[in-house]
Amino acid sequence: MKIIVCENYAEMSARAAELIAELVKAKPDCVLGLATGSTPVGMYKELISKNEAGEISFKDVTTYNLDEYYPIEPTHEQSYRYFMNVNLFDHIDINKEKTFVPNGLTQNPEEEGAAYDAAIEAAGGVDLQVLGIGQNGHIAFNEPDDALIAGTHITSLTEDTIDANSRFFASRDDVPTRAFTMGIGSIMKAKKIILLANGKNKHAAIAKMLDDKITTQCPATILKAHADVYLFCDKDAYNG
Ligand code: F6R
């Protein structure tokens, strides 16, 4: 794992965006795996600036998002589809028909989960996957558990995750308790992975990820088994 410790959130966002921009320049029809949450927002702003400045174009890029709440309407202000539109897609020259987010209203998660993974494969696989990390070490919504699921699936959020995400909702009771998420296998198939982490509240998860064990109780530890991972973090997340 390549570890890039940055002075602050702004530097982390700029350096991660630079890596994505390099890929988009080298492979204009690349497939990006994208994440939501607070962490990548600064990086998305940098990508929007680069697009506005004409440095990069997303017109041939395809994107697959990691996850979506379940059940939730795509037009709901807290849905991840809405988040992606507001924080990135509405501001860049991407073809929205090439942007995919798991269907938060699926009636058939098994079939749609398998179809989501198959579509990624058919598109040539994810060239670069962006990840955040939960305070409990989750990646996408693969929560700590005795076993992890390989493919895209419906999962229950842990109480910690519901607590952490309640900051975006009017009340804790409004936070969906389930999500439709890419699995660990789907994530590990990406050719390159960027994990972003900032703030002291991510330090414990980052320290655990960087120790010498791989455990399903901290799903991010599996990233040590991937050959091309960049960790972009700030000093607070790295040092505590
Ligand atoms: C979001 C996702 C989650 C977040 C994680 C960190 O698509 O998959 O795993 O990356 O919960 O969230 P923030 O960035 O809000 O701290």
> Which residues on adjacent β-strands are paired with residue 194?
130, 230
Nearest CA to ligand 1 atom 13: 37
Provide the percentage of residues in the chain whose pLDDT is more than 90.
Answer: 100
Which atom of ligand 1 approaches the CA of 39 most closely? 14
Tokens 């492979």 appear where? 27
The span from the CA of 28 to the CA of 188, in Å, is 22
> How do residues 168-210 score in pLDDT, each as one tens digit?
999 999 999 999 999 999 999 999 999 999 999 999 999 999 9
Average pLDDT score, the chain:
97
* Residues having CB within 6 Å of any atom of ligand 1: 35-39, 66-67, 132-134, 138-141
Task: Give the pLDDT band of residue 97 (cuts 50, 70, 90).
Answer: very high
Residue 54 pLDDT: 98
> How do residues 16-62 score in pLDDT, each as one tens digit?
999 999 999 999 999 999 999 999 999 999 999 999 999 999 999 99
Task: Give the pLDDT band of residue 153 (cuts 50, 70, 90).
Answer: very high
Q: What is the mean pLDDT of residues 130-149?
A: 98
Phi, psi (rounded to 5 degrees) for 235:
-65, -35
Predicted structure pTM score:
0.98
The span from the CA of 130 to the CA of 148, in Å, is 19
Which atom of ligand 1 approaches the CA of 202 most closely? 16
Ligand 1: centre distance to CA 36 (Å): 6
Nearest CA to ligand 1 atom 4: 132
Residue 240 pLDDT: 96
Q: What is the mean pLDDT of residues 127-146?
A: 98
What's the token pair of residue 130?
Answer: 């962006």
How far is CA 43 from each of CA 36, 50, 74, 207, rounded to the nearest angstrom? 11, 11, 23, 23
Nearest CA to ligand 1 atom 1: 36
- Going by their DSSP bridges, the two strands 128-131 and 67-70 should be labelled as unpaired
CA 47 to chain centre: 15
Do residues 56 and 25 lie in contact, with contact meaning Cβ atoms separated by under 8 Å?
A: yes
> How do residues 217-236 score in pLDDT, each as one tens digit?
999 999 999 999 999 999 99
Residue 6 pLDDT: 98
Q: What is the mean pLDDT of residues 88-94?
A: 98
The 3-class secondary structure across 114-161, one letter per residue, is: HHHHHHHHHCCCCCEEEECCCCCCCECCECCCCCCCCCCEEEECCHHH
